Chain A
Amino acid sequence: MLDGILTGLSTAIMPMNLLMVFVGCFVGTFIGMLPGLGPISAIALMIPITYGLEPSTGIILMAGVYYGAIFGGSTSSILINAPGCSSTVVTAFDGYPMAQKGQAGKALALAAYASFTGGTLSAFFLLVAAPALASVSLSFQSSDYFALMVLGLTAVAAFSGKGQVLKAMLMTVLGLMISTVGTDRSSGVERFTFGSIDLMDGISFLLLAMATFALAEVVMAVLKRDHMKEEENETDTSNLGSMKVTREEVKEVAPTAIRSSVLGFIVGVLPGAGATIAAFLAYGMERNLASVKEKLKFGTGSLRGLVAPEAANNASSSGSFVPLLTLGIPGSGTTAIMLGALIAYGIQPGPRMMVDNPDVFWSVIVSMYFGNIVLLILNLPLIPYISKLLMIPRTVLVPMILFFAITGVYLVSFNTFDIYMMVFFCIAAIGLRMLNFPMAPLLLGFVLGGLMEDNLRRALLISDGSLSFLWERPITAGIMAVTIIVLIAPIAQNFLQKQRSQKEAMTGSSRS
């Protein structure tokens, strides 16, 4: 294995390959920043170029584009609340409020550091354990995925501010309901399509996210124009470019970044999950671990709420190389394209790839170290300039966001119906936002709901309709146990606290 790593290193530091790391990261960051255009679009654009390259060079380029796009996707999430790609939707939850408070520079810097941590840590995990991790990829069955999604749903608490619990729950249920639109895979029956062929394939997550976040945001901005003018003038000119992160802040978010990287990496290794799920899970985990006081900050510009999904989605994108390279199983559309590219080169990803093509296998992994450094160097100096985007007059910025958000979604399907659907969801979202319903739980319910249902249906089919899979498989049972703890802990905590305060009150009163 050491031989292989050394071969990989010597391949990765060839000038051409270093150049490709740079080009990939640059192109990826740029495309990732455009709202709606994610890693898949970026990689699809690169494919014709890779045909003429050496296998390792081509794959290094594509990998760079991949994690570069996820790196760059956070920028538009933070600055204009329009997610650059689906895995950075969660970044907008706390990143955008920070930008609104005039901390855009800091939010971007933190996102860059968090992405760097996630990417570098998982590149390290890949280097030491990629072959061994293949068995982790295959250890998860449908029932385990189901349990994981249920655990993920507990994150809904993270999105409910004070007195908002019921509204957050309602929005989660709405998200679950929207996820059932389309052809039901397990029975082959269409549901809630109203006979329309355009609804047959279901509703895409990106469309929903762009409509409820990007579109709704700009329309709200136009509607509320008069109220906001005054405060806006203040925040816009204040410390926009300040990207200094204090030592206390680093101390605060460092454990978050590490925890989220580990979680994101593991979720990435599972072929049935992915970077978007990883970001949601990390956000939920961080909220659950936070102190009562810190919890309230989530959704209003919490540093931890920003760092967690950023570290997790980058770690997850590197993690997804485990099933891709060691098993030949793509976990997402993006890795499926990369698999196609590898096969076109005559390289068969799988258990023997390490032996047959050690140079390709290891050089891709080694190149990720360089890639993450390149991304950091590329992005940090740009932050002051990029965050100036917010200074663009609204009359220019609003149409620009509308344009990118709509073309981004249209370019995925080339179906004009999607645009009408976006307008519909946008109007619905504006109504709900005016009534103070949070949008994030809707997305959480939607993204987890589809996977949860599919996996539950499969698990039931496999176990012949019996619910025994919930306790028969150790992984499922373990995750379910964690879920129960997560649900009970706050209640128990509350109870204990009440008792304690009662006691204190009693001792206090006795003292006086």
Chain B
Amino acid sequence: MKSTQNTPAFSSTRRTLLKMTAVAACTGLFTIPGVATADDHKVDSIHFLIPGGAGGGWDGTARGTGEALKKSGLVETVSFQNLSGGGGGKAIAHLIETAKQQQGTLMVNSTPIVVRSLMGVFPQSFRDLTPVAATIADYAALVVRNDSKYTHWDQIVEDFRSNPRKVKVAGGSSRGSLDHLVPAAAIKEEGLDPRALRYIAYDAGGKAMAGLLSGEADILSTGLGEALEMSKAGQVRILAITAPERVKDAPDVPTLKEMGNNTVFANWRGFFGAPGLSSEKAEQYAKVLSDMYNTEAWETVRSRNGWVNVYKPTTEFTQFLEQQEAQVGSLMRELGFLK
């Protein structure tokens, strides 16, 4: 069955939207435009554009961020709008087309914006938008069953070398997605052919996990946050993660780097403004997001979701995106996804 995703709490969204329009109307009536933004660098309201349906990762990030910003009083009004379709392409196109009215909008996105624009899923890329800041990151993780014979990455490489068909990696999304690219990158790092990797695609992380536990696959490729939850249930262990060094939330989990494989990969989530957003305004948004880290409200949301704080504002964010585009691009060329 195709995804029948859920709807969000639309009534509250509508209410905030109404409130927003009311606030906007008041501002228009009683203040001279320009004065309000000139005297203080506070952001009054943010409208979050979510390129997917409710319940997904993007939705959780935007709503969690919005909740923290509002509760901590950093921003007075937040509103949300879901616009799914085309793997996020629909929302990007919308943001570009209506850029002039979208100066108060932040669109949430993550690593797939880089992957999908490389693949030509949508014609735009992050360059057509105004990168504001990356706020959280999730490293990739390789997970095995508790009773798996694999205890070290080298054993996987050895098995792969003797017969690549024997090593089966499960993942919760389609071929060419991050779950596939990460193990492929690690194999490539060993000087082996990443195209020979057997990647078994499931339609959701939970089903991929069931595939691992039922013995269909030997390794599960997923995000660290999800992997930690799974390992807490006591049926699987995390073999390695793609962080540059061990992370605070999982001090016992080794990195691929320690195991002699230099694959480092972070799936970031962050926010973009409409094209033509002034750098001043972008800085203000980035500042608000950085102020958010030290609030209690954010800590609640963060720990509830197991997110890792990673802050990369404006120019740094753009540089990082360029870097990632090069990294992912060369891998995808090798895998035959790009010509």
| Chain A residues proximal to chain B, CB less than 8 Å | 37-38, 40-41, 43-45, 47-48, 86, 137-142, 179, 182-188, 196-198, 200-206, 271-272, 274, 276-277, 323, 327-331, 333-334, 336-337, 339-340, 343-344, 348-353, 411-415, 417, 447, 450-451, 454, 458, 461-462, 464
Contacts and interface: CB of A to CB of B under 8 A. Distances in A.
Interface residues of B, number: 59
Contact of A139 (B168, B201, B214): B214
Interface in B111-133: 121-122
A198 B2 CA distance: 14
Report the 4 A-B pairs with minimum CB-CB distance, sorted nearest first. A197-B86, A350-B233, A188-B176, A40-B6
Given A44-B54, A462-B200, A198 B90 contact: yes
Contact of B173 (A140, A185, A344, A462): A185
Interface string B221-265: 000000001101111000000000000000000000000000000
Contacts of A274: 1
Contacts of A328: 209, 229-230, 233, 235
Given A186-B175, A197-B90, A344-B304, A412 B7 contact: yes
21 contacts: A41-B6, A43-B6, A86-B4, A185-B202, A187-B175, A188-B174, A188-B175, A197-B89, A198-B85, A201-B84, A272-B207, A272-B210, A327-B213, A339-B206, A349-B233, A353-B233, A412-B4, A414-B84, A450-B1, A450-B2, A458-B200
Interface string B7-47: 11111100000000000000000000000000000000000
B284 interface: no
B276 interface: no
Contacts of B216: 141-142, 458, 462
B320 interface: no
Nearest to B92: A197
Contacts of B207: 271-272, 329, 331
Contact of B9 (A40, A47, A202): A47
A162 B43 CA distance: 68
Contacts of B83: 414-415
B206 A330 contact: yes
Contacts of B180: 188
B306 to A, nearest CB: 8
Interface of B: 1-12, 53-55, 81-87, 89-90, 93, 121-122, 165, 168, 173-177, 180, 198, 200-204, 206-207, 209-211, 213-217, 229-230, 232-235, 304, 337
Given A323-B210, A417-B85, A461 B198 contact: yes
B215 A44 contact: no
Contacts of A277: 1
A44 B6 contact: yes
B10 A411 contact: yes
A480 B173 CA distance: 28
Nearest to B306: A343
Contacts of B206: 271, 329-331, 336, 339
Given A328-B230, A340-B55, A458-B202, 10 more contacts: A40-B7, A137-B210, A141-B211, A188-B201, A188-B337, A197-B87, A337-B6, A350-B235, A411-B10, A414-B81
Contact of A140 (B82, B93, B214, B233): B214
Given A186-B201, A329-B206, A336-B204, A205 B4 contact: yes
A412 B174 contact: no
A403 to B, nearest CB: 15
Contact of B1 (A86, A327, A330, A334): A86
Contacts of A204: 2-4
Nearest to A193: B86
B116 to A, nearest CB: 10
Given A205-B1, A205-B4, A48 B12 contact: yes
B175 A412 contact: no
A37 B8 CA distance: 11
A44 B3 contact: no
Contacts of B122: 197
A138 B206 CA distance: 12
Contacts of A182: 2
Contacts of B203: 185, 454
A167 to B, nearest CB: 24
B2 A333 contact: no
A17 B20 CA distance: 37
A334 B81 CA distance: 21
A204 B4 CA distance: 6
B171 to A, nearest CB: 10
A463 to B, nearest CB: 10
Contacts of A202: 2-3
Contacts of B210: 137-138, 271-272, 323, 327, 329
Nearest to A37: B7
Given A140-B214, A197-B89, A276-B1, A185 B175 contact: yes
Given A140-B214, A188-B174, A414-B84, A44 B8 contact: yes
A337 B55 contact: yes
A406 B232 CA distance: 42
Instruction: Name, among B89, B93, B122, B210, the residue most crowded by chain A CB atoms within 10 Å (CB to CB).
Output: B210
Contacts of A86: 1, 4
A406 to B, nearest CB: 14
Given A188-B177, A198-B90, A415-B90, A351 B235 contact: yes
A350 B236 CA distance: 11
Contacts of B93: 197
A137 B206 CA distance: 12
A149 B198 CA distance: 24
Given A185-B203, A197-B89, A198-B85, A352 B4 contact: no
